[in-house]
Structures are given as C-alpha cells and as structure tokens.
Structure 1
Amino acid sequence: MSLVATLICNPANPALDSTIVDGALAVLPSPGMAQWLFDEVAVDIPFESPVKGPDDIKAIETRLQRARGDLPIDIVVQPAAFRRKKLFLADMDSTMIGQECIDELADFAGLKAHVSAITERAMRGEIEFEPALRERVALLKDMPVGVVDEVLAKHITPTPGGRELVMTMRANGAYTCLISGGFTLFTRAVAAKIGFQENRANALKVRDGKFTGEVAEPILGRAAKLATLIELRESFDLDEIDTLVTGDGANDLGMIQAAGLGVAYHAKPAVAAAAAARIDYGDLTALLYAQGYRREEFVG
C-alpha cells in the first residue's frame, strides 16, 4: 500500500531538519525520497507498507512519534492517493477562531468562569452538549444583542493559517462549510472573514433587542454536524475519501470519524485519541501540508 507520512511544525517555530527526516526514514518501511513542502516546516515522506487498516497506520505513527521525541512536530500518516480533498467542514470555536464565543458573551455578564467550566466539560464529552448549551444560553437572558458586535471586534481572533487553508482549498475546487454548535450571529461574521462559502450554527432567540435566554430547537450538536457532512457529501456526489473535517470537541467527533481525513485540531484528549489525525503544534496551514500542498501553492 502506498502511504505518505507528513511531518509538520508550526511555521512560527520551525523544528524540522535533515536529522529529523533521517530518523523518520529509518523507521519507515520501504521509504522513498523525502519531499520538502516548506523548508524546516513541512516534509512528505512516501513509503510502501503492507498495512491493512487504521490500526496499522497508528502503529507507524507511534514509531515516528518515538523517533521525533519531544520536538513540536505533528505527524500525519495516510494513503498517498486522494489526498487533496473536495469538501471541507470545520468547527468554529477553538478551531477556526481561538475563543469560545459563548464564554466571551458570558464575560459581559460577569459569568465567564462559570460558563467556561461548563463549556470545557461539554467539549471533553463529560456532559451532554445540548442541555449544557441550553444551560449556558439561559444565563444570557436580557443581554443586549449589540454586545455580539463588541465581542467580535475586541475578543474574537481567527486562528493563524485559517484563511490560507480555506482559500487554497477553494482555489483548487473544494467546497467549504463552517459548522458550529455556537451561534449564527458569530458564524456569519467569521465565515465571511475567513472565506467559507457556507455556515451553519444555532440561532439565539431575541426579543426587543435582547436575548431571551433561549436557543432555537433543534440544537445543532454532534448528530447534526455528522448529518451536515453526509448531506453535503451526497449533494456534491463525493466519496468519503474526498472529505476533510476538523474540530476540537466531543461534538465534533462524529463528523471527524466519518471523514476521509478527520483531524483533531489542538483538541481535547478524548477527541485527539479517537481521530485519524491530530495537529497539536501546527497552525491551520498544517491541514494544507497534510493534503500535500507546497507553501508556494497557498492562496490568501
């Protein structure tokens, strides 16, 4: 089976050199010639292996991780064919942006610590997502809707590499969708800024310019994220292998596991352990290197 191992580090902290590459070559079966995607940041190493499934790929990843040691280098091992994906679904909070929007809203009510603790438990999968969302939204009752604009302007920052990721994939024919268990008031703005063609999220109920403390039902959670992946895949007549999904929380795991390449991005431990691939150190351009894009091919 023709496979490729991609070694990636954060471009702000380049850590790759020929010694690391030689160490990887030494533990891979029948390796080919290493191909630099970006000097000191990302490299592809093709190899041939009799592996038959995900467990075998994980075993190879483990060998590469041992060779890597403590260096901040991400490792993605996958079949060499069909690497460039045609459909991209991404979570928003703590993935395409660096914050959790509901936590930032709660900050205006002096409740950030309380709400953040609930968010963390939900994202770790320790409590069910839907009731946890209802509980947090109830705490926003009577907050002016205008606070959202202030949060977006002062507290929300796109994750580095996100626009390059989306615009490069779009330039190569992929369809991109921002899918969030958060709120449309945020996804619309974030999707437009980063370049997504579509966004889906939950709607907060509003009366007289203030939040009612309620979220429109049904809540967009784990099942709806997975259903969106399947719906878009079928609407574009794509195979599973053609899809790329990334997220960080337990409500992302269904769609991550159903993707051709599902990536846990700086994710909660249970999500990172269950995903086919994980990015712990790199920025979002890591998802382009994982598809075999070279730095000079980036757009945006």
Structure 2
Amino acid sequence: MKSSAVVATLIADPRSIRLSDAHIARLAQGVGGFDSQRWLDEGVAADLLFTAPLDAVRAALTAALAGDPVDVIVQPAAHRAKRLLVADMDSTLIGQECVDELAAYAGVGDRVAAITERAMRGEIAFEPALRERVKLLAGLSESVIADVLRERIMLSPGARTLAFTMRAKGAYVAIVSGGFRQFTAAVRDRIGADEDRANTLAIEGGKLTGEVIEPILGHDAKLGALQAIAAAKGLALAETLAVGDGANDLAMLKAAGLGVAYRAKPKVAANADARIDHADLTALLYAQGISRQEFVEG
C-alpha cells in the first residue's frame, strides 16, 4: 500500500446487519478515489482502500452510514498494525463502573452513580469527583471487593480476544484506569494483559477508609502513561492504540496513533478520531487489518 493511501474499515454489528459486496460497492461509489476492497470477516468487516483526503473519506462514509449499525474507522493505511494497546477499564474492558458497584453494596449507589456519570461526561473534574465518591464508601468491608469481582464484574465482549491477539502479534497490552488497582489487577489476569496502572483504595483494619492514595491517576496521568510506556518500549506514538469511553480518556485518545472512543460519552465520541458504537472490542483488531482467521481467542 502507498503511504498516502487511506483505509476505511467497516465493522457491522452482525446481530443487526450483514455487509454485502453490493452494499459496500454503493458506499464506495459515493467517495472519490476508491481503489479496492478486502474482506476481513465476510459479512462483518471489510477494508476499503482510497486515494483521497482522509477527512473527506471519513465525512462521506459517516454520512452514508448514518442510522446503520455499522462502525467506520478511517486512517492512513501505513502503520495500521499497533505495537502498544493502552485500554481504559471501567465501561471499556468491563461493562461496569467499579466504584458504582461498590457504592451499591454501601447503600449509596444512586448518589455515586450520578457523580460518576457527570465526571465521565466531562461536566465535573475527575479527581475531586473520585475523592467525593470514595469518601462515601468509608467503612465498607474490604471483602466486598472480592464479592463485586465475583458477582458483578463482566468482561466486555471481545476484550480477551483483543488482548490475546495483540499479544500473539508481539504487541504490549496495558490497562490504564482511573479506577482501582484492587480491580485492574484481576481484570489484567482475566484478559491476559501485560500490566495495569490505576488508583489504590486506602484500606485499614479490613475496611475502606474513604480515601484514595494520592496522587490520583486521572486525565493527565492517562496521557502520561501512554507516553511513558511507549517511550520505555522504544515506540513512536504512531505505533500505539488507545481505547476508552470517558472524558478522562480524551487526551490519551487524541495522542495515540489510533485513539478509539468505545461506546463513549457524547463529548468523547464527538472529539475522538475514531469511535465504536455498535461492534464489540474485536473491532480494534479489524481496524489494524487483522482478519477473523487470525484472532486468538485465549
């Protein structure tokens, strides 16, 4: 592929729609500079190669697909395969917000969930919002963490396949979360990630103290983690992939070679260069040109 080429990856939600050659041909004809098509997973995911301005391809395909349960990621064709994945955890690798699940056990679920929603939407600053939520958990038994992990924390569809496949191809996989190490360590083991970075709940005498050990890993720290891990691995940011859903992920998403807003809050989805609203996390593999036959299920 030419370095100036642009690739658009279409990923359908197979529960709702199947892509066809005819459907793709109609889409491609509406965009100038169409060159070729390749199936990554017939009926589900396909690459369309263009020689045209990236923004023009993205705008045309996004408009053409409006209302369809099909995601489109448009990027330079060069350097698609990434060597570092940095992933948010809550509402990204897992379907829950851990602090909200703890709060439900503490009897303050609605109060904490409301603060979480505002913080993830970017309506209030992340760090003070986290302190406020954790304060409401003071006195909760440490044993509840294990209960929440066992009973409530579920991996998002495709999370294990994403991590296992990228590692099989030689990439490094890191979880970087504004949540808590007491959870990220377990999720790291479940998906087979290389490392996890997160905040730590303070615990004394078997109970949560209501405090987070400072400094808090938030918006700036997530960006810093992406940069630091890439530097430690000798990688350019163009070789990195980041995924997240909340406002504290946005700087990290903007800095990565490919930053993907995954079923994200409106502010994040509107400002990220790529978004996944319909497909599962394996869409990030298709976005790298990895076919279904190459997936490693783990």
TM-score (norm 2): 0.97
How far is the alpha carbon of 1:13 from its aligned partner? 3.5
- Per the TM alignment, residue 207 of structure 1 is displaced from its structure 2 partner at its CA by 0.6
Question: Aligned partners of 1:59, 1:269: CA distance in 2, in Å?
Answer: 22
* Structure 2 equivalent of residue 48 of structure 1: 51
The question of 1:262 aligning with 2:265 is answered: no
Residue 281 of structure 1 is aligned with which of 278, 283, 288? 278
Instruction: Confirm or deny: 8 A CA contact 1:15 1:73 kept in the other structure.
Output: no
Instruction: Give the Å deviation of 1:33.
Output: 2.1
The aligned counterpart of 2:5 is: 2
Partner of 1:54: none
Measure the CA separation in 2 of the matches of 1:167 and 1:14.
27
The answer as to 2:203 corresponding to 1:203 is no
Aligned to 2:171: 174
Q: What are the equivalent positions in structure 2 for 1:1-300 lying under 5 Å apart? A: 1-49=4-52, 51=53, 57-300=54-297
Deviation at 1:15, TM superposition (A): 2.9
Shift of 1:60: 2.1
Aligned counterparts of 1:130 and 1:67: Cα–Cα separation in 2: 39
Structure 1: any 5+ residue segments left out of the alignment? 52-56
Q: Structure 1, residues 102-142: CA drift from partner, whole Å, max 9, x if none? A: 00000001211111110000001000000000000000001
Give the fraction of aligned pairs with identical amino acids, expressed as a percent.
53
Shift of 1:237: 1.0
* TM, length-normalised to structure 1: 0.96
Deviates more, 1:18-27 or 1:203-212: 18-27
Task: Report deviation, 1:147.
Answer: 0.3
- Cα deviation, 1:162-212, whole Å, max 9, x if unaligned, reads 111111100111001001000000000011001111001000101100000
Let me know the Cα RMSD of the aligned residues. 1.0
- Paired letter, 1:44: D
CA distance in 1, matches of 2:107, 2:195: 33
Separation of aligned partners in 1, 2:288 and 2:24: 19
Match of 1:34, SS state, is strand
- What is the CA-CA distance between 1:73 and the residue it aligns to? 0.2
Q: 1:299 to 1:11 in 2, by over 3 A?
A: farther
